[in-house]
Amino acid sequence: MTALNIYIADDDLEDRSFFIEALDDLPLTTEVTQFNNGVDLMDKLFSDDNLPHVIFLDLYMPIMDGFECLMDIRNFKKFKDIYIIAYSGIYREREVNQLKEDGANLFLKKSSSFKELKKLLLKSLQRVKSSNKNEVENGEFVILS
């Protein structure tokens, strides 16, 4: 199978590095592009024809947060097949419900345990690989924590 094209948008360099280290340790072939804010992520989405299979989207970033990115991404038909995994270290039911309404496919609670993060990322990416376009488009939503 071809590599999973993954975008990670998170303003915290340590969190991005932790994610990438965990992804590199998985039995999957991935290609990862990092962004430290939502504006750069959106610029890349609009300027590149090679769209990602999945976006890991931190909810709390300066300039343009994950909620705003999600709404913008879901407002454009050309991005309808991108699987979006919103994540945060904080779980607030109201916000997670908002993510579901706004078109996220999955919510992932950040883990400080490397082993746990690997397990959650593997589960997440297995869902991405097995999902079909209808599930993405019709708003399948899962919470992993």
8-state DSSP, 80: T
Q: Which domains does the chain have, with CATH numbers?
A: 4-144 (3.40.50.2300)
pLDDT in tens, 71-98: 999 999 999 999 999 999 888 889 989 9
114-130 pLDDT, tens digit each: 999 999 999 999 888 87
Report the b/e string of 75-105 with b at 16+ CB within 10 A. Answer: eeeebeebbbbbbbeeeeeebbebbbebbbb
34-64 as b/e: b if 16+ CB within 10 A: bbbbbbebbebbeeeeeebbbbbbbbebeeb
Average pLDDT over the chain reads 88
